[in-house]
């Protein structure tokens, strides 16, 4: 009876508890609650969605297979920690602004490596999203917006390619201005109608993007404190539109347009340049950044034709960008320009066989240097690295020789420029022959130098030093032969052997010891005294020795008696 009751209860539970349907490959209109790897395409789908992700921590990997149909949303997500990758999404309907990927809520969403045809990505109220490396083709849906983001923080949109339609729209909703920290980088928007729309956005970084737009490249709507830099922007219409936007910083960009700011715009306190600082320019040669490069389709924009008389690679004049088209002045104080190459060089560390040339250039460029001991030059060295300065070393030079050189510098922006000829003279090597002439200047009539080879000076002998000089050349006058004899002072080095005092007095040709030095001697060292004195010259010394010996003997005798 108990067994029958248990079986009955189990059957009731099976009927009452809803079953979780397993994912079926190839079927439309499915909910996903676990990670899935597709092994076939899903096509011909209609309705609200093709796939709906309803659980957190799900990875949908399409494996390169296609999701196709006219569903309102191809992939819909309503969860967090979702990754969607490697999908081909093809919309076959005729409606505009249909989302290929639509996110309702959540955080930490990654959308990577999708191919979206005539649809886009629309994410609402999601933080920390990454939209990376996706391709959007809006060839047949020109009203489509490729990426739409609403109320997001810390979102990264990078490495995406958008072809036609409209580009990227970030809108936070009116009255919700906070520090959103979004990054838009390394994207290419090709032949789009409008490039980027920033609505109620702050602290968004827009960098290293390329936009080719037929209308407005960047539209600021009540968006403040954003940074636009290192971008290449081209527009057939106005480059910028400002609506109640202020304190945005825009620098080191290439702008090509017929009109840079839309008429009636209200953008104020826009900074169009930073302070001059080292950096890589987005366009034009130069080693420092600050403002922007302003050009147009005919290459006669402000930056193309402005003066740069000091060759610092910045326009000498301030550029008024708005030109009266809006209610505020927008000034670029340090516009970039296309300056020619300008070089300077300094010769240093000059020796008899080497020289160092420091080459300084106003922009990144290479160099080639030719040098030689005649104006024909002849020797060639180069360096293809594009640098703002080059340290050039010349070796194996000939001493006391005049060298000529010129320097050619090139880069991809400018035609090559050659400066010179310059010259320097190597120093004289110590061992080289002495050069002299009748005028003492190193040359004689007829342009022939007279060279003498001289030996080192001899040691001083009886107050005289000598040397031998031989003529090397066989031209000119020999009147100014180098001197071969000069006076000197004898410095005697006396070796002290058995000398008890330090004073030596030279008398005639012999050295003797003075009488006063005898008082400093050791009286107890009779042997030393006898060997040191010349008693033949001083007979009195014999008497002194006798007295000293007698005295010493008496002292010794008395000591012995007392003992």
Compute the distance between CA of residue 389 and CA of residue 240 in angstroms, rounded to an integer.
38
What would the mean pLDDT of 25-45 be, rounded to a whole number? 92
Reported as a pLDDT band with limits 50, 70 and 90, residue 499 is very low
Query: What CATH number corresponds to the domain at position 383?
Result: 2.60.40.10
> Are 328 and 360 contained in the same domain?
no
159 and 139 in contact (C-beta within 8 Å)?
no
Domain boundary among 275, 307, 339: 339
Contact between 404 and 375 (Cβ < 8 Å): yes
- Would you state the pLDDT for residue 558? 61
3-state class (DSSP) for residue 218: strand
Which range, of 20-34, 106-120, 205-219, 359-373, averages the lowest pLDDT?
Answer: 20-34
Strands 505-507 and 510-512: antiparallel
Residue 184 has pLDDT above 50, yes or no: yes
- Residues above pLDDT 90, as percent of the chain: 40
Are residue 268 and residue 282 in the same domain, yes or no? Answer: yes
Q: pLDDT tens across 320-371, in order?
A: 987 555 556 789 999 999 877 888 899 988 998 999 999 998 888 899 999 9
For 273-292, b where at least 16 C-beta lie within 10 A, e where not — what string?
bbeeeebebbbbbbbbbbbb
Give the residue numbers spanning the domain of 544: 505-562
260, part of any domain: yes
228, 331: one domain? yes
Residue 393 shares a structural domain with residue 368: yes
Run of H or E including 303: helix 302-305
pLDDT of residue 328: 64
Q: Is the pLDDT of residue 493 over 60?
A: no
Q: Which two tokens stand for residue 383?
A: 């360096």
Question: Where does 216-338 show beta strands of DSSP type E?
Answer: 218-221, 227-229, 232-243, 245-246, 249-251, 254-261, 267-268, 277-278, 288-289, 293-295, 319-320, 331-332
Query: CA-to-CA distance for 82 and 75, rounded, in angstroms?
Result: 12
Least confident of 53-57, 172-176, 509-513: 509-513
What average pLDDT does this structure show over 236-252? Answer: 91
Report if residue 209 sits inside a domain.
yes
- Are 334 and 382 members of one domain? no
Please report whether residue 276 resides in a domain.
yes
User: Above pLDDT 70, what percent of the chain?
Assistant: 75
pLDDT at residue 149, rounded to an integer: 85
User: For residues 149 and 102, what is the distance between their CA atoms, to the nearest angstrom?
Assistant: 10
Range from 94-98, 114-118, 143-147, 504-508 carrying the lowest mean pLDDT: 504-508
Q: Give the end of a domain, one of 312, 339, 366.
A: 339
Domain assignment present for 550? yes
Residue 159 lies in a domain: no
> Does residue 118 form part of some domain?
no
Give the mean model confidence (pLDDT) for residues 20-48.
87
Distances (CA, A) of 128 to 171, 177, 395: 15, 17, 59
d(CA 221, CA 237): 18
Has residue 498 been placed in a domain? no
The pLDDT of residue 97 is 58
Q: What is the mean pLDDT of the chain?
A: 79
pLDDT band at 534 (very low <50, low <70, confident <90, very high): very low
- Last residue within a domain, chosen from 402, 425, 448: 425
Contact 219, 235 (CB under 8 A): no
Whether residue 206 has pLDDT greater than 80: yes
pLDDT at residue 438 tops 70: no
pLDDT at 330: 86
Tally of structural domains, the chain: 3
Query: Which of 214-228, 272-286, 549-563 comes out lowest in average pLDDT?
Result: 549-563
CA atoms within 13 A on the CB side of 310: 5
228, pLDDT greater than 80: yes
Kindly tell me if the per-residue pLDDT of 275 is higher than 50. yes
**d(Cα 50, Cα 114) in Å, to the nearest integer?**
16
State residue 416's pLDDT score.
Answer: 86
pLDDT at site 449: 60
42 secondary structure, DSSP code: E
Residues 218 and 304 in one domain: yes
Report how far Cα 176 is from the mean position of its chain's Cα atoms: 40
Residue-wise pLDDT for 377-393, tens only, equals 989 999 999 888 999 99
31/21: higher pLDDT = 31
Q: Who wins on pLDDT, 439 or 40?
A: 40
Would 241 be classed as within a structural domain? yes
pLDDT at 118 over 50: yes
């Amino acid at each position: 009876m108990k067994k029958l009751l248990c079986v009955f209860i189990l059957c009731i539970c099976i009927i009452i508890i809803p079953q979780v349907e397993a994912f079926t490959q190839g079927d439309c209109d499915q909910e996903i609650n676990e990670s899935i790897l597709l092994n076939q395409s899903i096509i011909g789908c209609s309705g609200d969605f093709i796939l709906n992700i309803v659980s957190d921590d799900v990875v949908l990997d399409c494996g390169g297979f296609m999701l196709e149909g006219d569903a309102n949303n191809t992939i819909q997500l309503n969860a967090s920690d979702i990754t969607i990758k490697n999908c081909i999404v093809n919309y076959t309907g005729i409606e505009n602004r249909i989302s290929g990927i639509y996110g309702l809520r959540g955080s930490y969403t990654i959308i990577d490596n999708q191919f979206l045809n005539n649809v886009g990505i629309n994410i609402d109220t999601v933080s920390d999203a990454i939209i990376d490396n996706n391709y959007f083709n809006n060839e047949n849906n020109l009203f489509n917006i490729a990426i739409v983001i609403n109320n997001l923080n810390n979102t990264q949109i990078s490495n995406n390619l958008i072809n036609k339609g409209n580009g990227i729209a970030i809108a936070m909703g009116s009255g919700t201005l906070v520090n959103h920290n979004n990054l838009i980088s390394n994207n290419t928007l090709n032949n789009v109608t409008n490039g980027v729309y920033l609505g109620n956005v702050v602290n968004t970084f827009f960098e290293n993007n390329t936009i080719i737009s037929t209308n407005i490249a960047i539209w600021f709507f009540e968006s403040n404190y954003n940074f636009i830099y290192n971008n290449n922007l081209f527009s057939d219409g106005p480059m910028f539109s400002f609506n109640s936007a202020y304190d945005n910083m825009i620098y080191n960009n290439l702008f090509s347009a017929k009109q840079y700011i839309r008429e009636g715009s209200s953008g104020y306190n826009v900074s169009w340049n930073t302070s001059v600082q080292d950096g890589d320019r987005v366009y034009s040669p130069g080693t420092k950044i600050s403002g922007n490069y302003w050009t147009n389709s005919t290459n006669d924009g402000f930056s193309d034709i402005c003066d740069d008389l000091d060759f610092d690679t910045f326009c000498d004049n301030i550029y008024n960008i708005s030109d009266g088209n809006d209610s505020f002045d927008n000034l670029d104080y340090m516009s970039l320009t296309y300056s020619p190459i300008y070089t300077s060089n300094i010769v240093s560390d000059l020796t008899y066989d080497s020289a160092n040339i420091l080459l300084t250039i106003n922009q990144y460029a290479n160099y080639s240097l030719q040098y030689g001991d005649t104006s024909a030059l002849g020797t060639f060295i180069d360096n293809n690295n594009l640098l703002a300065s080059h340290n050039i070393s010349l070796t194996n030079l000939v001493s006391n020789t005049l060298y000529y050189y010129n320097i050619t510098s090139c880069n991809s922006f400018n035609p090559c420029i050659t400066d010179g000829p310059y010259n320097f003279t190597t120093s004289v090597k110590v061992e080289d022959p002495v050069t002299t002439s009748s005028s003492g200047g190193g040359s004689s009539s007829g342009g022939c130098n007279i060279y003498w080879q001289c030996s080192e000076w001899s040691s001083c002998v009886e107050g005289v030093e000598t040397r031998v000089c031989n003529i090397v050349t066989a031209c000119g006058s020999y009147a100014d032969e180098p001197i071969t004899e000069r006076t000197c002072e004898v410095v005697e080095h006396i070796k002290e052997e058995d000398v008890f005092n330090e004073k030596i007095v030279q008398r005639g040709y012999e050295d003797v010891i003075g009488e006063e030095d005898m008082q400093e001697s050791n009286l107890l060292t009779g042997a030393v005294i006898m060997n040191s004195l010349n008693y033949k010259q001083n007979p009195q010394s014999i008497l002194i020795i006798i007295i000293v010996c007698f005295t010493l003997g008496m002292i010794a005798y008395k000591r012995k008696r007392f003992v």
